[in-house]
Amino acid sequence: MHDGRSLIKTGVFEALLVWMCVFGLLVVTGCQKENGKQNGNRLGRTVDLQIGDRMRIATINTDKGNIVIELFEAEAPKTVANFIKLAEKGFYNGLTFHRVVPDFMIQGGCPKGTGTGGPGYTFADEPSALKLRHSDPGTLSMANSGPDTNGSQFFITHVPCPWLDGKHAVFGKVVDAASQKVVNKIAQGDVIHSVTIGER
């Protein structure tokens, strides 16, 4: 038989055990909520980054149709910023593709239409842009007259042009076959009606 003292001890022990279980459950639940909140914050930041991580697109409207180009802002930020600035000012509107070499490239962006004009300034090559390759048709790159002479003139390739690597700053690429077909149809003297900048 249990005496009263042992019953009291047993009751106290059981009460203590129940209290510890309840307290432990509360602590675990609180930690889960806090972790969920922290994870939610991390997920929120990730989603925000994904939503904000859009491609900057240039659409060149020409006599032959639209050429849609992805601009490489991460790899060539200064070169892309210069192109966007000129496009948004309407600098390219009405200029021509003054130089077209079949099975090589089309070149535009000269206000004189001779290949000797520019925006009134030059800027240096970006090392990161020079590391990009002319490995595909539809590569958008800066025309120049030597190192660090970038301005407004650009070209788009018909074919891979590895001999240009390291000499011209790549800053974009045609996004689809339809746009590349337009590039391939461009003839010397065709007009650039506008260049508009957007996101995709």
The model's pLDDT over 30-68, given as tens digits with 9 standing for 90+, comes to 444 444 444 333 333 323 333 346 889 999 999 999 999
pLDDT given for residue 188 in this prediction:
98
Give the whole-angstrom CA distance, residue 43 versus residue 50: 10
From 61, 66, 130, 164, the catalytic residue: 164
Give the whole-angstrom CA distance, residue 173 versus residue 180: 10
pTM: 0.74
**What residue type is 59 in one-letter code?**
T
Report whether 84 contacts 179 (CB < 8 A). no
Whether 104 is a known active-site residue: answer yes
CATH code for residues 56-199: 2.40.100.10
pLDDT given for residue 16 in this prediction:
57
Residue 115: count other Cβ atoms within 10 Å of its Cβ.
Answer: 15
Whether 155 is a known active-site residue: answer yes
Whether 25 is a known active-site residue: answer no
Of 149, 182, 142, 183, the C-alpha closest to 164 is 142
* DSSP track, 112-180: TSSS---SS--BPPPHHHHTS---STTEEEE--SSTT-BSS-EEEESS--GGGTTTS-EEEEE-SHHHH
pLDDT given for residue 200 in this prediction:
86
Weakly modelled stretches of the chain, pLDDT under 50: 1, 7-8, 25-52
From 72, 83, 154, 155, the catalytic residue: 155
Report whether 198 contacts 57 (CB < 8 A). yes
From 104, 123, 184, 193, the catalytic residue: 104
From 56, 98, 99, 134, the catalytic residue: 99
Whether 168 is a known active-site residue: answer yes
Whether 16 is a known active-site residue: answer no
pLDDT given for residue 54 in this prediction:
80
From 71, 168, 171, 180, the catalytic residue: 168
* Spatial CB neighbours of 75, under 8 Å, sequence gap ≥ 6: 128, 129, 131, 132, 170, 171
Name residue, tokens 């003139």: 153
